[in-house]
Structure 1
Amino acid sequence: MKTHFILYVADQARSTAFYSAVLETEPTLNVPGMTEFSLSEGTVIGLMPEAGAVRLFGDEVTPPVAAGLSPRAEIYLVVKSAEAFHSRAIKNGAREISGIKVRDWGHTAAYSIDPDGYVIAFAEPTI
């Protein structure tokens, strides 16, 4: 099974640049209407312009921004060097909401909000 998580974004180019810098990787697909990054074997995060979601779903779904919803979702990534990933996110335009801390569920994690309103957590197991 291959799993795709698709984020609806206001500006595909801006979000592509943000995730390329933060993840330190280039997209595996980058065409008008969709950008994809491989997170691990079988797991992909995609970036679709909100206009594409509107074309796909029509009036059946209200885009989160139009509905006034924020935060939109959380992306929780367990990585090596959570602090380095978090720092890159802040440097590239994310807004910090909780710095690097030992959390009570066994991870050291930091949280920020990306340019489209998604919460991003970078975590690593606490030793």
Structure 2
Amino acid sequence: MQINEENFKVLKASKDTLGSHLQLEVTLPDGKCIIRWGLDEVDYMRIKDIVKKNYFDILDAEYYYEILPYVSVSLDKPKGKQKFIASVRCVQGQKAAKIEFECSERFAGNMEWFRQEVRGLEDLESLRWEKFK
């Protein structure tokens, strides 16, 4: 599946009785839906810290954040521990700031699942926001 970088628009990063999560608007070839993307505490805190900062001189009402649809891997040293690096982008009009953060293996695995397995809205039925209200 071809994924564009607008697929993971962050609507909210918060906690509820089920735990930490992102509310994401996802765009697929057959439409859009809002999903609940569960996070572990470390990923939640890293993303929450990113989305509460101002990356431009001023932030007007027309800005938003996106989770970019890929994760990269780096090594501390040869044969060392893998680090998974994800990215959030703050978009305001024609400007954008890409902010990288170290993410968990769970986050990286979920992103890989999405990239490899999700073909349409039907594949996201179990994650639809309405199921968690």
Range into which the TM-score falls when normalised by the shorter chain: under 0.3
Provide the TM-score with structure 1 as the length reference: 0.26
Provide the TM-score with structure 2 as the length reference: 0.25
Q: Going by fraction, where is strand more abundant, 1 or 2?
A: 2
